[in-house]
Amino acid sequence: MRLSQYFLPTLRENPAEAQIVSHRLMLRAGMIRQQAAGIYAWLPLGYRVLRNIERIVREEQDATGAQEVLMPTIQSADLWRESGRYDAYGPEMLRIKDRHDREMLYGPTNEEMITTIFRDGVKTYRDLPRNLYHIQWKFRDEVRPRFGVMRGREFLMKDNYSFDIDKAGATRSYNKMFAAYLRTFARMGLKAIPMRADTGPIGGDLSHEFIILADTGESAVFCDKGLVDKDILGRTIDYQADLQPLVNEWTSLYAATDEMHDQAKFEADVPADRRLTARGIEVGHIFYFGTKYSSPMNAVVSGPKGESIAVEMGSYGIGVSRLVGAIIEASHDDAGIIWPESVAPFKVGLLNLKIDDGAVSKACTDLYTSLKAKGIEVLYDDRDLRPGAKFADMDLIGVPWQVIIGPKGLAAGKVELKHRATGAREELVLDQALARIGA
């Protein structure tokens, strides 16, 4: 992409309405624009990142054997009356009437809908387990939308639903998601801490929140440092195998959030040199809730003896749009965003320091063409601007690698390569620079 033609409305000043760094940087980097409280339009740069995050989420969901569907955003009130949640849900639900005065709503989540889809399609235990997910916009009329996309009213969520014949099966489904979540967040360069979560009035069931560490997070985190140091990406996960040992390994280390935090237990469980107190952002939540929806909504299958069995269900959410902000919270500096390569909007920023210099511009165009031919996403700053402005913009938008070409270096056969994350700069011949960025 040529920057001279790209829709990238960056801002020099810090927008007054943004209280936290990710919100500021997303506005300044021209990624989003607010349309109403907690409702955002995604501009080209922001949308690229959102899609990259979505792709990683999808790949890791698919790896578990889950199947992707797409359910609508608008649902009928009657559907929610079946589970009893229509009246219970409260003012966070956006209630709508159509032209025939039928009550509708903008879905805040999809348990009811997926339960009816399952109920109509599966009749026997032989067809279990089933695991379906979608990535779709949700609406929750949050009392206080804030922090940009971190707590929006309209936001993109991945929600997955599992259906099993018994608790043992549901636990297997739960464990698959647990492992998939660890990998999903690690691939985005994030340290996700699985925290045992409150299961509310149903009680006794299983639930974990996945919290990533960032100073501006809304939750307090008390955990064993060992959790932060653990690696999951080096491992291959066989989703057909028993994943309980893996889950046990991660849940045996102490981790808690504010509400559940018990100072005495933390100190008893974790030696002083391994205690970590930090702040975090909830990016995912997994939940096993048994027959909470299948019983009232009659999602039953026939068992081996012909008996009717209400299916055991779980639901598993990831805040896809929240992750864009969360990654920035975890990875930025004074100059701007530092994207992990896996989610970066472009891998390489190419800076032409003198566009009216024929040799420089030819070197840039050649490199731009060859990187594109290799399938490497490159943003070419071919604008007629002074170098300082180009450096500032490229640092702000956080592209992982910058290749800087100017007349002096070029005369010596060199380009400058800058690594955004470390700030390291090197003068290299072009081929060395390309090798360094893995091109």
Interface with ligand ATP (CB under 6 A) = 140, 142, 151-152, 155, 157, 282-285, 317, 319, 321-322
CA–CA distance, 381 with 342 (Å, rounded to integer): 22
Residue 152 site contact among ligand ATP, Mg ion, none (CB < 5 to 8 Å, cut-off depends on kind): ligand ATP
Between CA 135 and CA 146 the distance in angstroms is 22
For residue 416, the partner it binds in ligand ATP, Mg ion, none, with Cβ less than 5 to 8 A by kind, is none
Closest distance between ligand ATP and the C-beta of residue 34, in Å?
14
Count how many Cα atoms sit within 13 Å of the Cα of residue 339 in the half-sphere of its side chain: 29
- Beta strands (DSSP E) in 140-274 are 154-164, 192-196, 207-213, 219-224, 255-257
Nearer to ligand ATP, 28 or 322 (CB): 322
Q: Which residue is nearest to Mg ion (CB)?
A: 285
Which stretch of DSSP H or E encloses residue 401? Answer: strand 401-405
- Which of ligand ATP, Mg ion, none is residue 24 near (CB under 5 to 8 Å by kind)? none
Cα distance between residue 149 and residue 93, in whole Å: 18
Q: Do you find a cis peptide bond into 194, omega within 30 degrees of 0?
A: no
Give the residue with the Cβ less far from Mg ion, 208 or 414. Answer: 208
Residue 138 to residue 107: CA distance in whole angstroms: 6
CB of 405 to ligand ATP, least distance (A): 40
Count the site residues for Mg ion by CB under 5 A. Answer: 1
314 or 345: whose CB is closer to Mg ion? Answer: 314
**Distance in Å, CB of 320 to ligand ATP, minimum:** 8
From start to end of 50-177, where are the E strands?
67-68, 74-76, 94-97, 103-106, 130-139, 154-164
The residue among 282 and 312 lying less far from ligand ATP, judged by its C-beta, is 282
Q: Is 208 in the site for Mg ion (CB under 5 A)?
A: no
Two tokens, residue 350 = 């190419």
Handedness of CA 92, 289, 191, 48 (dihedral sign): negative
CA distance 277 to 300: 45
By C-beta, is 139 or 346 nearer to ligand ATP?
139
Could you say which of 187, 285, 292, 322 contacts Mg ion (CB under 5 A)? 285
Stretch of 56-64, 263-271, 278-286, 327-335 contacting Mg ion, by CB under 5 A: 278-286
- For the bound state, the minimum distance from the C-beta of residue 360 to ligand ATP, rounded and expressed in Å, comes to 44
Angle (nearest 5°) at CA 378 between 382 and 182: 145
Identify which of residues 285 and 322 has a Cβ nearer to Mg ion in the complex: 285
Q: Give the shortest CB-141-to-ligand ATP separation in angstroms.
A: 10
Position closest to ligand ATP via CB: 319
Quick one: what does residue 207 bind among ligand ATP, Mg ion, none, with the CB cut-off 5 to 8 Å set by partner type?
Answer: none
Q: Is 332 left (phi over 0), alpha (psi -120 to 50) or beta?
A: beta
Name the token pair of 84: 């009893």
Rounded to a whole number of angstroms, the minimum distance from the CB of residue 404 to ligand ATP is: 37
Minimum distance from residue 259 beta carbon to ligand ATP (Å): 11
Q: Which residues bind Mg ion (CB under 5 A)?
A: 285
